[in-house]
Amino acid sequence: MPTLRVFAPATISNVGPGFDVLGCALYRPGDTVEIEACDAPGVILGEVTGDGGALPLEPARNAATVAAAAVLQRAGTANSVRGLRLHLHKGMPLASGLGSSGASAAAGAVAANLILGQPLSPLDVVQCAIMGERAACGAAHADNVAPSVLGGFILIRSYDPLDVVRLPVPDGLFVACIHPHCEVSTAEARRRLVGRTASIADVVANTGNFGALVAALHQGDLGLLGRAIEDRIVEPVRAAMIPAYADVKRAALAAGALGCSISGSGPTVFAFTDAAVTAAAVARAMRATFRDRAALDSDVWVGPICRDGAHMVP
């Protein structure tokens, strides 16, 4: 049986004031799924590597297999494939705020759709990937899986019905992502928001910033984009879960970042810049601050925003 390999990129979700509604794709890191058709019905999970044994091996609890099974089911009897076997290669840390389960779900859904001859539309594939995300982390947010499937900046206008909007990626935009070696559970980070209310002043500030952010992406105005990366509602609650966050953000801005915030539910922190060399300097400053103020080592990724989503690789 032929085997397909699909790479799905890590993502920044909750971009600035875009909690649960705005994400973007990175070039690296990411997850890879290998998939082949098989005679047994359903989806079999073969090997999982790169996770240090942390991920569940039951297909019903793994983001990639749940997403692939959703594709198989939606494709229905129109295809001749009865079952799928997949192997998942984790290429990024778990519970990092880089959309780890989202990338696995995206890779599983896109790989299944490709091997079945692409019976589903891109929006249907995103919906199947959301099911994988929910199985892995308990919440059906789409701001990781949608950009991982589709690439670029993706706005989730509505969850029910699902309505996603592609926003432009401005030329000259670079991002520095830093992952300190500690974990934040997305489920716990979401629990901290339950029952919270926001003041009208904070809603007004976030609405202004979100509108400006969308305008900045359309106009290619990187200065405005940086000013709009300010969240007065969710970031202050979650900042407390990341050691030395305020110092790291201050260091990023002092090193030339246009804007800086938490990636997903953290602990990864991202910063936008208008040059590759500045992004590298910002990453160095953030890494030094995590080390000096919180005694944490970190991994960094620096580069442009990835305009392509999950795709076949050799």
Q: Write out the catalytic residue numbers.
A: 133, 186
Q: Does residue 192 touch ligand HSE according to CB under 6 A?
A: no
Q: Does 268 bind ligand HSE (CB under 6 A)?
A: no
Token pair, residue 160, equals 């029910």
Residues 60-99, one symbol each (x = binds ligand HSE by CB under 6 A, - = not), give: -------------------------------------x-x
The interface region with ligand HSE, picked from 35-43, 186-194, 196-204, 221-229 by CB under 6 A, is 186-194
Find the helix packing angle between 122-137 and 63-75, rounded to 10°: 140
Q: Which of 32, 104, 186, 268 binds ligand HSE (CB under 6 A)?
A: 186
The half-sphere exposure of 91 on its side-chain side, counting CA atoms within 13 A, is 18
Query: Residue 155 corresponds to which amino acid?
Result: L
Single out the residue of 33, 32, 304, 311 nearest to residue 152, CA to CA: 304
Interface with ligand HSE (CB under 6 A), residue from 9, 93, 170, 264 = 264
Q: Which is nearer to ligand HSE, 75 or 267 (CB)?
A: 267
Q: Does 265 bind ligand HSE (CB under 6 A)?
A: yes
Q: Which is nearer to ligand HSE, 139 or 224 (CB)?
A: 139
Nearer to ligand HSE, 27 or 159 (CB): 159
Could you say which of 89, 90, 141, 249 contacts ligand HSE (CB under 6 A)? 141
Q: Exactly one of 65, 144, 209, 278 binds ligand HSE (CB under 6 A); which one? A: 144
How far is the C-alpha of 80 from the C-alpha of 39, rounded, in Å?
10
Q: Interface with ligand HSE by CB under 6 A: which residues?
A: 13-14, 20, 97, 99, 141, 143-144, 186, 189-190, 264-265
